[in-house]
Homo-oligomer: A and B are copies of this chain.
Amino acid sequence: MMIIMATEASTEDVASVIARIEAEGLKAHLSQGAERTVIGVVGDIRWVNREQFLLMPGVNSIIPISRPYKISSREFIPNDSVFPIDGVTIGGPELVIIAGPCSVEDRGQMLETAHAVREAGAQALRGGAYKPRTSPYAFQGLGEEGLELLAEAREATGLPVVTEVMSPDLVPTVAKYADVLQIGARNMQNFALLNAVGESQHPVLLKRGQSATIEEFLMAAEYVLSHGNRRVILCERGIRTFETATRNTTDINAIPVLKKLTHLPVILDPSHSTGSWEYVAPIARAGIAAGADGLIIEVHCHPEKALSDGAQSLKPERLAELVRQTRLLAEVIGRRLPEAR
């Protein structure tokens, strides 16, 4: 942490800041510029309240030097985190494609889609039983009945299941049925929920909030990790910008940036990051080319009848084509997409 003094700061101001730094058990390091004095603070400042220094007389600004996250950083854990999810390995050289419907709608739809998705070559199954919807009047999901159908689809196909949990009190219920607990973008800073999934020790798929910085995204992961739950998958799903031609703006830069900053696996959700099925395949390819560890994709056998997100759902045959392309792309960049299970 560097404390930048104002140009008009007095010698007393500087002395008080130094005194306070030392009172916190830290060391101060003075750097006298032509215009300004800068005071470096040396020691473990994770528990120091930076704003208190900001309000001292003569202080102009505070510049943090170390990153605010710890366990999620590559400085703390240099090697990629690789972990299995019911037989599928994520984070290593092998890519993972998770696919399935936006919402679990009924038994027929869920089983048909699960089989189609496995045949198309996906390694895991997604499907929403609890749906966060902008409108209180929209379909809110089947709830526990949906979880049961997901479990049945897993039995039938052997694919592990990823599904969203929206509230801390539902974590045990969802964990009973699902292999991976998904935290949706709107809940990325729902700290009560992050604590609950941290406690659960189930693998977590954490979606980036639509206006979350990469740093905030890693801080949200840190909430889960700090409970001893080390199996967190980060998912870029598009951010909100001024551009309205697509539902969101895929922050493709975030993929290499995250791979540099953290050891956690990073996947891309091109369905939400574009909002339109026509753009899913090119953006999915872009994600793989940029270094993502996998994809999560919305698939529906009859998108025109989907109860939610039909416009951004691929038909199974298009998914099969995307799987084929992903396999070729993987080779170009030295990775591998495993064969269908």
Contact = CB atoms under 8 A, between A and B. Distances in A.
A245 B214 contact: yes
Contact of A42 (B32, B133, B308): B32
Nearest to A224: B136
Contact of A2 (B2, B213, B304): B2
B2 A38 contact: yes
A15 to B, nearest CB: 16
Interface string A123-138: 0000000001111110
A142 interface: no
A155 interface: no
A52 B136 contact: no
A135 B216 CA distance: 8
A152 to B, nearest CB: 25
A56 interface: yes
A167 B166 contact: no
Given A2-B38, A54-B310, A168-B169, A213 B245 contact: yes
26 contacts: A4-B65, A33-B40, A33-B65, A34-B43, A36-B65, A49-B307, A49-B308, A49-B310, A51-B310, A52-B304, A54-B311, A136-B219, A136-B222, A137-B226, A167-B192, A187-B190, A210-B211, A211-B211, A214-B243, A241-B242, A252-B283, A257-B279, A282-B290, A285-B333, A289-B289, A289-B329
Nearest to A216: B134
Given A34-B43, A305-B52, A191 B133 contact: yes
A29 interface: yes
Contact of A136 (B34, B170, B226): B226
Contacts of A43: 34
A90 interface: no
Interface string A152-181: 000000000000001111100000000000
Interface string A26-45: 00010111111010101110
A293 interface: no
Given A7-B75, A32-B42, A255-B286, 17 more contacts: A34-B42, A132-B189, A136-B219, A211-B240, A211-B242, A213-B245, A215-B245, A239-B242, A239-B243, A241-B249, A242-B242, A245-B257, A249-B253, A250-B251, A253-B279, A256-B279, A325-B333
Given A2-B63, A243-B251, A290-B283, A191 B166 contact: yes
Interface in A312-337: 325, 328-329, 332-333
B274 A222 contact: no
How many identical chains are in the complex?
Answer: 4
A60 to B, nearest CB: 9
A151 interface: no
A201 B74 CA distance: 47
